[in-house]
Amino acid sequence: MTVTGTQSATPGTDAPPPHGLVRQHRSLPRLAPAGLFGLGAVAGILISLLTGFNPVLAVVYTVVLGTLAVYVVARSVEGTRKAFDRFVTCIVTSAFALAMVPLVSLVWTVLSRGLKRLDGEFFNSSMLGIVGEGGGAYHAILGTLIITGLTAVISVPIGLLTAIYLVEYGTGRLKKAITFLVDVMTGIPSIVAGLFAFALFAIFFGPGIRLGIMGAVALSVLMIPVVVRSSEEVLKLVPNELREAAYALGVPKWRTIIKVVIPTAIAGLATAVTLAVARVIGETAPLLITVGIINGTNVDPFDGRMATLPVFAYYQLTQPGFPPEYAIDRAWTAALVLIALVMALNIAARLISRFFAPKTGR
């Protein structure tokens, strides 16, 4: 415990302050709140062990007793205001720790079970002719990359042009209608997007058709609104002074957008597109309906079924065959590779945002 004192004297004199006017500011040592919370946590765990160990109750006891210990001691030493601040800090920190538990558990489970088959064979072989042990997801990885690439080719131009229209040109009822429809599309369930693409292609090619391009169309329905909303917010951050300066020089509006607005927002736009791709790369339901699954390699999205990582993992887990452990291991490894792809896309988005942002310094 540290004690600091400040004395107030009569202005213009060196006389000491009257007795009783010395103000003392007391505060807990830096590590004391953590230690107090730890003691409360130990007490909570002991109570849970004595009453029959239950993980949920142990967490509740830990948070309640740890927060109570910090609050009581801080109130007696530092006062009500500082004690309430520490109380809120304990609640927020505990909520963050609880929110991290499922994420850490997910990462640990996928790593522990997916590393078993993370070998060269998994990346350079397909499931053609494989019944039990062996095989890989080469065909599924290729299918995922091809379909996701087609989805980006379809969605990015439509999404970016729509965002540019809403920010630079849109007015009145048409702008409100487009914004409303984009918001509605944002909440469309993925299975509905798959059914839409299946029904659209069934009109022209008949029922039962399965094509890679169908999966790209279904994923585009999910990706376009994400690109529109993200790009719209990025374009709104471009200062109007830049546009007005270009207009003052006699630059047409379309050229101002191409030469001024887009280059200024290019880092944010690239980040928005990358995050939108990461959003759809792991979708399973639309691809189950539109693309299906095959054991061999098909790189032509306009000719027959294609394999994708989410659908590959789904079928390996739900239809493992006998013995089932080999297929289940392949499913977990496919999930690990898919998580790695999403993580790589998120890292790429951060790097793009960092290195390609416009430099404002002189």
pLDDT given for residue 279 in this prediction: 86
pLDDT given for residue 6 in this prediction: 46
pLDDT given for residue 152 in this prediction: 93
- Residues 244, 260 contacting (CB under 8 angstroms): no
pLDDT given for residue 130 in this prediction: 80
Phi then psi for residue 278, to 5 deg, are: -65, -30
Domain with CATH 1.10.3720.10 in the chain: 122-355
Exposed (0-12), middle (13-18) or buried (19+): which is 29, by Cβ within 10 Å?
exposed
**Tens-place pLDDT, residues 45-82:** 888 788 777 777 778 888 888 888 888 888 888 888 88
Alpha helices (H) in 239-323, listed in sequence order: 240-248, 253-256, 262-280, 285-290, 309-318
pLDDT given for residue 360 in this prediction: 55
Long-range pairs for 24-31 at CB < 8 Å and ≥24 separation? Answer: 26/1, 26/2, 26/77, 26/78, 27/1, 27/2, 27/77, 27/78, 27/82, 28/1, 28/73, 28/74, 28/77, 28/78, 29/1, 29/2
**Tens-place pLDDT, residues 143-158:** 999 999 999 999 999 9
Token pair in block for residue 243: 């546009």
pLDDT in tens, the chain (362 residues): 444 444 444 444 445 555 544 445 678 787 888 888 888 888 888 887 887 777 777 788 888 888 888 888 888 888 888 888 888 988 898 889 888 888 888 889 999 998 888 888 889 888 888 887 888 889 999 999 999 999 999 999 999 999 999 999 988 899 999 999 999 998 889 999 999 999 999 998 888 889 999 999 999 999 999 999 999 999 998 998 989 999 999 889 999 999 899 988 888 898 889 889 988 998 999 999 999 888 888 899 998 899 999 999 999 988 887 888 888 999 999 999 999 998 888 888 888 877 776 665 54
pLDDT given for residue 22 in this prediction: 43
pTM confidence score: 0.78
**Tens-place pLDDT, residues 228-253:** 999 999 999 899 898 999 999 988 99
pLDDT given for residue 362 in this prediction: 47
Q: Scanning the structure block, which residue is given the tokens 């953590």?
A: 34
**DSSP states of 202-240 as a string?**
HHHH-TT---HHHHHHHHHHHHHHHHHHHHHHHHHTS-H
pLDDT given for residue 7 in this prediction: 47
Q: In this structure, which topology does domain 122-355 adopt according to CATH?
A: MetI-like fold (1.10.3720)
